[in-house]
Amino acid sequence: MTTLDGRVAVVTGGAGGIGEAICRGLARAGCAVVVGYNSSEGPAQALAAQLPAALLPHMALKAPVTDSSALAALADTVQRSHGRCDILVNCAGTTRFVAHADLDALDDALIDQILSTNVRGPFAAVRALRSLLAAPHADGSTGLVVNISSIAAVTAMGSNVMYCASKAAVDNMTKSLARALAPQVRVLSVSPGLADTEFVKSMDPGWRDEQASRTPLRRLARPEEVAAAVVAAATHLTFTTGAVIPVDGGRPLA
């Protein structure tokens, strides 16, 4: 399968740096894209309007992943407007830089925010859209869930201890859900290294250069490369489920 014409994809966190690249990549492959957002309605609406035309319309919908009732409403809207959902990309996430040794700064409120957004959120989105993802199609295609993870799940190095733990949980959950939802739905993780989004580009150049130097390929991941892995999961890796696909430049090798 090299085209996604007629397919519908929901991308939570679709207006963020990586999320935007994923929305654009899926749209170029032929998908009608639902750009899910929490507080970034303006950018999400603008992105949906800019995407190349598909067989079904693109749209932006509120998708706060910590609100299960809102996700159920999103699923209902997608059902009524498009009649199907073939791909769910769980890209919404949150974190804050806290030194790993500073246990007091990683307070309970931040821990709860990270875990509810990064772990419970993807599960809740799958739960809300499961019936659409698992619906049979005449072409025999299966539904697909792609969870955007992080190399921090493996290296245990990242913005804070709980962020690393949350991404390890996502990878584990990916495997559990792949088993639980088979054969109707495939579930994969795409696991980037540090991606060179606009947010990262705004940070200290010395720090960015140091992170790149620690990677065998000597640069950061481009958001478009993360998007390419998501599109590949839908178009080429059609017999793959329960796997974690790294897009990290070989960082664990360093």
Query: Which residues form the catalytic set?
Result: 163
Q: Using CA atoms, how far apart are residues 218 and 193, in angstroms rounded to an integer?
A: 12
**3-class SS of residue 241:** coil
57-92: string of b/e by CB count within 10 Å (b at 16+)? Answer: ebbbbbbbbbebebbeebbeebeeebebbbbbbbbb
* Residue 220 Ramachandran class (φ > 0 left, ψ -120 to 50 alpha, else beta): beta
The one-letter amino acid code at 2 reads T
Rounded to the nearest angstrom, the gap between the alpha carbon of residue 18 and the centroid of all alpha carbons in its chain is 8
Q: Half-sphere exposure of residue 222, counting CA atoms within 13 Å on the CB side?
A: 5
Backbone angles phi, psi at 217, to 5 degrees: -85, 0
Q: Using CA atoms, how far apart are residues 178 and 233, in angstroms rounded to an integer?
A: 14
Beta carbons within 8 Å of 72's beta carbon, 6+ residues apart: 128
Comparing CA positions, the residue from 106, 86, 81, 104 lying closest to residue 165 is: 106
28 with 104: CB under 8 angstroms? no
